[in-house]
Structure 1
Amino acid sequence: MVKFGYTILYVENVEESIVFYENAFDFSRKFISPDNDYGELITGETTLSFASKKLATENLKDGFIESNPKDKPFAIEIGFITDNVAELVQKATSFGAILVKEPTKKPWGQIVAYLRDLDGFLIEICTEVEG
C-alpha cells in the first residue's frame, strides 16, 4: 500500500511558518519538534509539514534550491479548497501572503487564485472541481 502522507516545505523559520498557516488558513498545529526544526499542521487527509533549511541541509548533503519570494516560484504548488476563494485570499494576504493572481473563473467553472507564502511557496486557493 502507498498513501500520500505529507508535503514538507523547507522554510527559514518553522514556528513562523506554522503560525502563518494557522492564522491565514485556520489549520491546527499537530506537532513542532523541541528544536523547532520540524513541524506539522492538520489540514485534512494530507499533513502539511515544515522543515528548517538547517535540517534540510543535514538531510540533503548536496543542497537544494531554496524558495525565495523574490524569485519565480517553483513548478509546483500546494492547493487549498474553499467555498469562498475571495474571502480566503483576503484573509491570507492580511497575514502576509503575496497575491500573485486574483480569483478567476476557469472554463470548467472552478474559481482559482494564486498566492505566495512568507517563504515564497506558491499556493492555489480554489473551489472544488465539479464533475
Structure 2
Amino acid sequence: MYVVDVEATIQFYEQAFGFVRKFVTPEQDYGELISGDTTIAFAHIDLALSNLSKGYQQVNKEKPFGIELGFVVDDVLSAIEKVEQAGGTIHESVTVKPWGQTVGYVLDNNGFLIELCTSM
C-alpha cells in the first residue's frame, strides 16, 4: 500500500488493530507488520513513482478504492472506536447482515478501506 508517511501508517495499524511492526527501513520509506501468513506492507509514494513508470491512482480520503482489507474482530463497535482514536474514520455504520455477521467499514489514516467484521 503506497502511503505518504510510512511511520505514521505503521503506528496507526499498531494503535488501531494491535499489529506489531516487523520492520521499517532507516529511510522510513518501507515497512511491514507482523500479520500471520499474509504480509501487510507500506511503501512511500515516491517508491510507487519509481516502480510504476505509468503512474498509479493515489489513495485519498474522499472516496476509497474498490478494494478493502478485512479484519475479523470479536467486537466491531469497540474495534471502530479504536480506529477513531488512532486517527481513522467511520465510512459505513455498523450493520448486522441477514446471516448474522456484524460488519462496519472504516478508513485508515490514509483513506484505505477496511472492513471490520465478526466471524461467520
What residue number does 1:29 align with? 21
Pairs within 5 Å for 1:116-131: 116-129=107-120
Partner deviation per Cα, 1:67-93 (whole Å, 9 max, x = no partner): 0102x1111000111111110101111
Q: Of 67, 81, 105, which aligns to 2:72?
A: 81
RMSD: 0.8
What residue number does 1:67 align with? 59
- After TM superposition, the runs of 4+ consecutive aligned structure 1 residues lying more than 6 A away are none
Q: Of 95, 98, 119, which aligns to 1:104?
A: 95
Where in structure 1 are there 5+ consecutive unaligned residues?
Answer: 1-8
Structure 1 Cα separation of the partners of residues 36 and 82 of structure 2: 20
Partner deviation per Cα, 1:70-126 (whole Å, 9 max, x = no partner): 2x1111000111111110101111111110112111011111000001111000000
Percent identity reads: 49
Count of aligned residue pairs for this structure pair: 120
SS of corresponding position for 2:91 = strand
What residue identity is the alignment partner of 1:34? Answer: P
SS of corresponding position for 1:63 = coil
Structure 1 Cα separation of the partners of residues 9 and 98 of structure 2: 34
Structure 1 Cα separation of the partners of residues 90 and 4 of structure 2: 20
SS of corresponding position for 2:50 = helix
SS of corresponding position for 1:112 = strand
Where in structure 2 are there 5+ consecutive unaligned residues?
Answer: none
Cα shift at 1:44: 2.2
Structure 2 Cα separation of the partners of residues 103 and 44 of structure 1: 26
